[in-house]
Structure 1
Amino acid sequence: MNPKTVKASKPPRLLLEGLFAFPPNREILGGTAYFILEKTGNILIDCPFLDEDNCSFLQQQGGVKWLVITHRGGIGQSVKDWQKRLDCEVVIQEQEAYLLPEVPVTTFETEIVLGDNITGIWTPGHSPGASCVYWNHHQGVLFTGRHLLPDNQGQITPLRLGKTFHWFRQLQSVAQLRDRFSSETLNYLCPGANTGFLRGKGLIDNAYQQLLTLDLEKLRQQPTRF
């Protein structure tokens, strides 16, 4: 299938040197995809809207080596088409690979290293194979899919949704990220949804300090949001 002739509403936005964010994609429930420029191979995180403008932009930047899917809701109907168009490697946590039966994929269990500065990290809870992607640039950037999202105040938090796979495992994954990083290694967070709550900033700074302030015990009692 050729890319759709409908144009995306806005071009990708430069957030930091080497990092772009695409407009929310209605095919994945308003999810935000990100594009990272790396010398060892460019990385696309989740699927932007499939149209000629987005395809041309990615090709002009040198193409995509890896397309990383952070959770089952980020798959959409265009993964197969993006893979063919970009001739890229699709990376997904092993528990959700079955959702892409017609796409050749590279799977991982707990972690995967892509190039020199990118690591995929399994963070189950939101979905069985939910993952985050860590970029070792700009004092550390973490792409969280729907594992951690901004609330209506722009503060990062896990959300207990109707589609949440396992809430307590999600909180355990948050604790593991908190223990893994520090203020020196985690500076920014790029969520895969709810980016409108960032009020134009496009990303969350001071990310590690926000992780530290999360009251995981209180969050255990958080009601489900539908």
Structure 2
Amino acid sequence: MPFSDRRSATLKTPHLVLDSIFAFPPNRDILGGTAYFIVENAANFLIDCPAWNEPNEQFLRERGGVSVLFITHRGGIGKAREIQEALGCKIVIQEQEAYLLPGLEVATFESELTLSSSCQGIWTPGHSPGSACLYSKAAGGVLFSGRHLLPNQQGEPIPLRMSKTFHWRRQLRSVQILMERFNFETFRYICPGANTGFLRGKGVIDQAYDRLVQLDLNAQLQAKPVL
């Protein structure tokens, strides 16, 4: 059976969160994470793996398929093998985590990778050694942050120290680098890879750069891990 779940009649469908950007329902294969789909004229991008079932495959095919599956961290791999076999897409992952995809056609990068005229992969280590974000120029600048930046209970973007965080200081440094790289005109939204329930139906974190610059990263150093 090629799909992980055949209960298509009861499955939720992807929903539009920004122009040409869709969010999939949380996927238990990636610990309740949220995958995203960017529809572009030249190429379509899937960020992390949605639940692999017939409705999701049909949804992707009806919109031109997937050119690139971008994995933000090792926890976002899910059914990457099945997705590549079905859709023939290229898998992109930061080089330190490519070993987790043996036997697959994988493109790796070290610090940055240009994926299209509007999309770029950026290495943001800390949550995991190969944690990475995908940045899109769409809608004034959107960062698909994986688990590098997540909304807290108030819907504010924060780096979240978890019990399995690879390197907390490095993660905070990665946040600082993002703030130095972008500004309020180029970084409007965050599409987080988890905790989307805290967004209370908004789908995205808006005013992303303005919210991030208000973070006290020095204070974050003392944050205790959460489960």
Query: Paired residues, what number?
Result: 225
TM-score normalised over the length of structure 2: 0.97
CA distance in 2, matches of 1:178, 1:27: 31
Are the counterparts in 2 of residues 80 and 102 from structure 1 also a CA contact under 8 Å? no
Match of 2:52 in 1: 50
Asked if 1:156 is matched to 2:157, the reply is yes
Can you list the C-alpha shifts for 1:59-83, whole angstroms capped at 9, x where unaligned? 000000000000011112x110000
TM-score normalised over the length of structure 1: 0.98
Segments of 4+ in structure 1 off by > 2 A? 6-9
Can you list the C-alpha shifts for 1:47-68, whole angstroms capped at 9, x where unaligned? 0000000000000000000000
Match of 2:144 in 1: 143
Match of 2:12 in 1: 10
Q: Which runs of 5+ in 2 are unaligned?
A: none
Q: Which runs of 5+ in 1 are unaligned?
A: none
Structure 2 matches for 1:177-216, cutoff 5 A? 177-216=178-217
- Displacement after TM superposition at 1:164 (Å): 0.2
Match of 2:87 in 1: 86
CA distance in 1, matches of 2:110, 2:186: 23
- Displacement after TM superposition at 1:116 (Å): 1.2
CA distance in 2, matches of 1:134, 1:42: 14
Can you list the C-alpha shifts for 1:84-123, whole angstroms capped at 9, x where unaligned? 1110000000000000012110000001111110000000
Structure 2 matches for 1:95-174, cutoff 5 A? 95-174=96-175
- Displacement after TM superposition at 1:6 (Å): 2.6
Match of 1:71 in 2: 73
Secondary structure at the residue paired with 2:178? helix
Root mean square deviation, CA, Å? 0.9
Match of 2:63 in 1: 61
